Amino acid sequence: MSQSLADNPILNWTERPVYTDIKAEHVVPAIESALAEAEKALSDLEQDPPSTWLGLFPRIEKIQDDIGRFWGVISHLNGVRNSPELRDAYTQAQPQIIAFINRSGQSQAIYDSMLAIQANEGDQLDETQTRILEASLRAAHMSGIGLSGADRDKFNENSRKLAELSTQYSNNLLDATKAYRHTLTTTDEVAGLPPSFLAMAAENARQQGHENATAEDGPWAITLDSPSYLAIQKYSDRRELREEVYRAYTTRASAGDVDNKPIVNQIMPLRQEQAKLLGFENYAQMSLAGKMAGTVEAVETLLLDLRQAARQAGADDIEALRTLARESGAPEAADLQFWDYYYWSEKLRTQKYALNDEELRPYFPLPRVLEGMYELVGRIFGIVIKQADGQVPVWHPDVQYFNVLDQDGTHIADFYLDPYSRPSEKRGGAWADVLVQRSKLMAESGKEVRIPAGYMCCNQSPPVDGKPSLMTFQEVLTMYHEFGHQLQNVLTTIDSGLVSGLRGIEWDAIELASQFMENWCYHRPTLESMARHYETGDPLPEELVNKIIGSRTYQAGYMMLRQVNFGIFDITLHKVEEISENTALEIQQQVATETLPLPLVPEDRFFCGFGHIFSGGAYAAGYYSYKWAEVLSADAFAAFTEIGLDNVTEVQKLGRRFRDTVLALGGSKHPMDVFIDFRGRKPEPAALLRQEGLI
């Protein structure tokens, strides 16, 4: 490696990257160097293909890990510290990564070696080795190993194009969100909006050049990132403002230079062509081939059953809002629209439970929420989460770093938390990701195993005017959700990086642990432990605790239909043989008409901002996974409620079993087998319907 490459901060780290040193100009040289090393290792492997599992798969893990570590850092920064320079570098490097992935996946020598191992050693392999071998053979098929000549060339070119289009889609969405500007200047314009929003909006205005903006006097800048958008929808008394912001949000990236409609219309035929090249009828069938559900029919059955179960409850939910609007003398009562939903839903929730997010925010400062969450997992899983800020470099001053210790003090993992919205450089939503997997093979010299590390990224309201980040209850749920993902990464006990942590788990089971963690937010002792007033330290009043728990199933019918709508749109779109200019819009409108109890406006183009399925990898023809895994998580949590959540001894025993199965085994076993190991039987969907109050 040349001296300049030896100094490249993307390449020259072992335990943790020095994010503060990484610049856009490091990206392409780093990836070219890493790919050259990987290509040499792959060629050496092909020259003399091993005939044993131990001869082949450790070398494959090394090749994949070397590329994955470096490209993962770049991809992460592209999502949290996006800039024109980094974006350009990412765009230059990505085709080279795709080309190598296709090249390695289509290696005939390695594929033949795997087939030989299956024939000669198949009955001698343990369960983990068998899973790795079977998954590798399936991945080779999905990579086009069976293709040759023009078909292989077409497949590889399509893969490159799809990666580029996915990145362009994501960039367009980020740019469209960032470009929106709407400034409020009078107190009449901000009627109904709470002080927490006004403080945030004034800060946004200061960042946009209004140096003297204050929460009291304005001006106030609205953005389309979630904290701003949802505050307008929930609290603004000006219906015309709610409508304007709603229309802007649901038409993001649907016009002009950032129009994602043509991107979608290019992505869909390419996906269908890839599926046909691999012998599938459509992309939906191809996507399901490697997921727990297995078939399109199984997915559709689940979604349609849930739609039927929630249909009347969803209609009743909307009628309750109409009734309140009518009783309040609101003209929209006769013509309720989506921009009225959150506003009247919040008012009805306040009336029904005397509960609103602004009343709760002071009791959910981020530091206390984290403390309560870490106390919970310490109690039920026997671990200690220790803040370690300053221990490693981070990519932004707001980022926090944590060590994970076992109950005997052994250091077993680390993770980063990037909690706040930064619409100028950070993509929206919330996610968890992996920096490095647990791996015995990749351990540093003198260490038995490389411990895992990962990221948790959220987009909640940042600290404003000297106050800590005060969270809505939904943001608390989101934090618990993402931490559930990270628990699977940091608590794995599998030593092979090919199937440790989140690696190798069927995608529709990946949400089990995350949704399981959300349930604890409605557990009284957990709720009480994490809710303390940020100024006084007073606990959340019992009355509010009761209301939060009692409101769990509030509007559950409508929210179920909302998620089912997304899932049906996704799976339906990915079955279509021929994509025309308006196919996505027509399917969106048709599914919404059949599913949602409120009408879409004609210009709604939510699919132009549906990053999960157009720039989210395995969520394409896989968005149903949230509901599929929710069946698993509800049934898993039911095991705890059956023994009594306050039965400390039994909860700890069951928590240990959950840790030793769901959180520990990664992709080393089929998720159905993992679930049975924990629960003692297959999952039953009734637990989810009971949890949602639908039966």
Q: Do the bridges between strand 220-222 and strand 182-184 make them parallel or antiparallel, or are there none, so unpaired?
A: antiparallel
> Which residues in 470-499 are b (16+ Cβ under 10 Å) and which e?
bbbbebbbbbbbbbbbbbbbbbbbbbbbbb
Reported for 211-215, long-range contacts at CB under 8 A and 24+ positions apart, including other chains, are: 215/464, 215/465
DSSP 424: T
Q: Give the CA radius of gyration of the chain.
A: 25
DSSP state of 576: -
Instruction: Name the DSSP class of 659.
Output: I
| Helix runs in 106-260, H state only | 108-121, 127-142, 149-179, 195-207, 226-235, 239-250
Place of tokens 């929710």: 630
Is 482 one of the annotated active-site residues of the chain? Answer: yes
User: How many CB atoms are closer than 10 A to CB 44?
Assistant: 10
Cβ(564)–Cβ(309) below 8 Å: no
Cα–Cα distance for residue pair 80/69, rounded to 1 Å: 17
Q: Catalytic residue among 203, 243, 300, 482, which?
A: 482
Q: Dump the DSSP string for 106-138.
A: T-HHHHHHHHHHHHHHGGG--HHHHHHHHHHHH
State the residue for tokens 């987009």. 459
Among 579, 608, 9, which residue's Cα sits nearest to residue 269?
579
Q: Is 248 exposed, middle or buried (0-12, 13-18, 19+ CB in 10 A)?
A: middle
Euclidean distance between CA atoms 60 and 63, whole angstroms: 5
Burial call 217-240: b when 16+ CB within 10 Å, e when fewer: ebbbbbbbbbbbbbbbbbbbebee
**In the numeric block, which tokens belong to residue 659?**
């840790």
- Strand 383-387, strand 400-406: pairing: antiparallel
List all residues 6 or more positions away from 515 whose beta carbon is below 8 Å from its beta carbon: 481, 484, 626, 629, 630, 633, 634
**What is the C-alpha separation between 358 and 475, in angstroms, rounded?**
12
Active site residues: 482
